[in-house]
Every structure is written in C-alpha cells, then in structure tokens.
Amino acid sequence: MEIIEKIKTSKLIENQTEIQKICLHKLQSSPLPNPKSELWRLSNKSKFSNFLDYSVNEKDPKFDAPFPNTSQSTIRLVIGDNCQINLIEENYSIKQLSEDKLVKYIKEQISCFDQNENWSDLLNLSLSCTKNILGLKINGSKIPPIEIFSHASSNSLNAKTLVIFLEKNCDIELLQVNLGKENSSLSQSTFFCLEENSSVNHGVVSYGENKSNLLNSLNVIQQKNSEYNLGSLHFKFNYARFEIRIKQSAGNAKTNIKGMQITKKDEQISTYTKIDFNGPNGFLDQINKSLADDKSHAIFEGSIIVPKIAQKTDASQLSRNLLLSNFAQIDTKPQLEIIADDVKCKHGATISQLNEEELFYMRTRGITLPEASKLQLSSYFQEIISFIPVSKDRWDLLDKLLNEN
C-alpha cells in the first residue's frame, strides 16, 4: 500500500494545501483504521488494500462518462472539471464558496473528526487538491434540479470533495452520481449543512466497472425544522463503502433514508449509518436493502443515538435483505442507543430469498422463470429507486439493475 507509506513520511502530495497538511498530520499517528473496531472489522482486508494500491491522480481524469442528455431546466456540474458557477436568478442563487470560507468550514469539521470513524474523510481531504473541492452556497426557491458528478480514471486514485450550504427556507433536489472506471479507486466526501426550514431531496447513485473501488462518505448537519431525504444506490464495485453520518443539531427536524446496495461475483459493498439526535421532536424513517448473489458480501450497520436531551424522538430503522445464492453473505446490524425515556423508536432486520410461491404462480401463467424473477426483483428495487430524485429517470436505473441480475 504505497499510499500509506507516503502518508507515514508526509510525501503523499507535493505543494500541500493547509487542509492536506492537517489531515496528513492526523493520519500519521494512525495511517489505517482499526480493523478490530465495529466499523471496520467486516471490511475485506485484501479488497481494502486494493483500494489503496493506485497512485494518486490530482489531474481531472478524462472519462467517457455515460452522461444522459440533460434538460434545459437541470443544472449539471462535474467536480474537478474546471467547475465554476455563480447563478443569480429572480427566485434563487447558487454561488461558489470563497476559498477562505471553504477552508474555515472544513477545518471546523476536521477538529471534530474521530480518527477511526472519520478515517475515510481524513484520507479524502488529505488527497483532494483545491480544484477537486467544490463548495456551494444555495439560497431561494423554485431552484432547478441539480446534478453533480464525481468520477475516477483507470489505474489511479481520485479524490473529490463536495460542500453544500443550504440557507434558510431553501428547497432543492440534487442527484449526485459517482462513477468508477475499470481498475480505479474513487474517494468521495460530501458535507451538507441545512439551515432552518430548508429541505433537500438528495439522490446518491454510485456504480463502477470491473475492479473499481469506492469510499463514499456523507456528513449532514440539520438545523431546526429542516428536512433531509436521501435515496441511495450502490452497485458494480469490487469494493465499496458508504458512510452516512447525520446530526439533528437542535431537534425538530425530519430525516428520511432509503438505500440499497447490490453485490455479485465476489464484490463487497457496505453501508454504515449513524443518526445522532441532539434535541427533542426529531424524526427518522430509514430503510436499507441489500441484495447479494454469487459469492459476494453485502453489509449494513446502522446506529441511532438518542441522548437524554432528545425527548419525543420518533425513529424507525429497518434492514431488508435478499440472498440469491447459497454462497453469498449478508451481515446486518441495526442498533439503537437510547438514553431518553419519552421516545418512540424501533428497529428490525430480515433476510430472505425470492418467494417460491409467487414464482410458481407466475410460471403457471406462462411466465418463464427468468422473467418471473425479474418481476420480483423489480418490485424489490422500485421502493428505493422511486425515492431517488426524478432526474435519475434518464439513467434507466431499473433496467441497469435488472440486466445486472
């Protein structure tokens, strides 16, 4: 793992920025996450090592991305692609954060990082050069849908960072797409700050090609009366890890999460979530789905933290999993940490296979077994896909998933 050796000697990046220096200094004392911790113990060591095997590419990679045609009403941005935006319209504005404000915010976040929990972010920020960090300040209403892309090039490791400030009474729909090229690694860190009475419908779609890897970290801070809705989908990665950390900083906020990971061959894809309620009257509805086939491994671990101050919290977390092979593996661990005594919280997990009775019924009606299986899978996928912002329709996600399985 050449990258780790360079971290130890502080020779990872030339002409380091202030942020890179801070993160590299933090990483030097513990260059790798603790493999014995709950957050990392199931991570395949060999595949994780593969993620770190590629050289860092600071240049914007040339990538023949399968971007579908965008509509005139959609704002499309590509991180690292000399991205510049400064829109001031009658009802809204989208401006890039100044470098000073961006650095100040990131430094504040780093000061709160846990070495093990935020290892992915520390690595990302130690690798992301200035041109691969996009900071946006969004204000107003009737904002067109936004699409933001991150991508990696073959035989290299690319790091991209996205920071979004959503001002008061602002409402946006954002589709974030992470694309991996063959034999590549992509590190993506996203930071969201939602002010009072703001809301976002956020879609995260990540898919790669043969031997592509992904570390994807999402950090969200919600103020009072804000609403954060997340629909996510990860598939076709040799190794992928999606970390979600959401903090309702003062209570009285709503969070809805619907996510899914799909694994085949010998892939490993995992989702780790931590939802922290730091005030009363918080709401959470979370569903995570995993589908594992062949000799693959899917992982979900979700944590809901409800301290004494978070009275009247209403939180639900459900893990639903579908096992398509006797050789595949699914690990799931939804968990609650509750100190408050006046709450309504629940969690649950199921692991099942395709419904044999339904398959038999459809076959008696002349439907072939492959087509019957696709119909069941379509129903299983649709709950998650329908929660991703509407701009995802151009990506034909359902067809991609059904053709993969």
73 found inside a domain? yes
Whether 164 has a pLDDT exceeding 90, the answer reads yes
Whether 67 has a pLDDT exceeding 80, the answer reads no
Whether 1 has a pLDDT exceeding 60, the answer reads no
Domain finish residue from 209, 228, 249: 249
Taking the C-alpha atoms of residue 138 and residue 15, their distance in angstroms, rounded to an integer, is 31
Q: How confident is the model at residue 299 (pLDDT cuts 50, 70, 90)?
A: very high
Q: Which two tokens stand for residue 139?
A: 């204000």
127 found inside a domain? yes
Pick the more confident residue, 339 or 15.
339
Q: What is the pLDDT of residue 250?
A: 93
Residue 64 and residue 200 in one domain: yes
Q: How confident is the model at residue 330 (pLDDT cuts 50, 70, 90)?
A: very high
Residue range 348-402, pLDDT digits in tens: 999 888 777 776 667 787 777 777 777 788 888 899 999 998 777 777 787 777 7
Strand partners, 85: none
Query: Are 134 and 148 spatial neighbours (Cβ–Cβ below 8 Å)?
Result: yes
Q: How confident is the model at residue 12 (pLDDT cuts 50, 70, 90)?
A: low
Q: How many domains does the chain have?
A: 2
The region, left, alpha or beta by phi > 0 then psi within -120 to 50, assigned to residue 336 is beta
Whether 5 has a pLDDT exceeding 60, the answer reads yes
Residue range 389-399, pLDDT digits in tens: 877 777 778 77
Least confident of 5-9, 42-46, 186-190, 259-263: 5-9
311 found inside a domain? no
Strand partners, 323: 292
184 found inside a domain? yes
Pick the more confident residue, 9 or 334.
334
Whether 21 has a pLDDT exceeding 80, the answer reads yes
Please, what is the average pLDDT of the chain? Answer: 89
Q: What is the pLDDT of residue 402?
A: 74
The region, left, alpha or beta by phi > 0 then psi within -120 to 50, assigned to residue 41 is alpha
Taking the C-alpha atoms of residue 313 and residue 306, their distance in angstroms, rounded to an integer, is 8
Smallest CA-to-CA distance from 254 within 279, 217, 219 is with 279
Strand 92-96 relative to strand 86-88, pairing: antiparallel
Regarding pTM above 0.75, the answer is: yes
Q: What is the pLDDT of residue 90?
A: 83
Pick the more confident residue, 227 or 68.
227
Determine the residue type at 292: A
Q: What is the pLDDT of residue 368?
A: 79
Q: What is the pLDDT of residue 92?
A: 92
Percent of the chain whose predicted confidence (pLDDT) is above 90: 60
Percent of the chain whose predicted confidence (pLDDT) is above 70: 91
Whether 61 has a pLDDT exceeding 70, the answer reads no
Whether 317 has a pLDDT exceeding 90, the answer reads yes
292 found inside a domain? no
Taking the C-alpha atoms of residue 315 and residue 381, their distance in angstroms, rounded to an integer, is 23
105 found inside a domain? yes
Taking the C-alpha atoms of residue 377 and residue 366, their distance in angstroms, rounded to an integer, is 18
Residue 128 and residue 245 in one domain: yes
338 found inside a domain? no
Q: What is the 3-state secondary structure (H, E, C) of the chain?
A: CHHHHHHHCCCCCCCCCHHHHHHHHHHHHCCCCCCCCCCCCCCCHHHHHHHCCCCECCCCCCCCCCCCCCCCCCEEEECCCCCCCEEECCCEEEEECCHHHHHHHHHHHHHCCCCCCCHHHHHHHHHCCHHHEEEEEEEECCCCCEEEEEECCCCCEEEEEEEEEECCCCEEEEEEEEECCCCEEEEEEEEEEECCCCEEEEEEEEECCCCEEEEEEEEEEECCCCEEEEEEEEECCCEEEEEEEEEECCCCCEEEEEEEEEECCCCEEEEEEEEEECCCCCEEEEEEEEEECCCCEEEEEEEEEECCCCCCCEEEEEEEEEECCCCCEEEEEEEEEECCCCCEEEEEEEEECCCHHHHHHHHHCCCCHHHHHHHHHHHHHHHHHCCCCHHHHHHCHHHHHHHHC
Q: How confident is the model at residue 291 (pLDDT cuts 50, 70, 90)?
A: very high
Whether 29 has a pLDDT exceeding 80, the answer reads no
Domain finish residue from 234, 249, 264: 249
Domain residue limits at 403: 355-405
Domain finish residue from 230, 249, 268: 249
18 found inside a domain? yes
Query: Are 30 and 7 spatial neighbours (Cβ–Cβ below 8 Å)?
Result: no
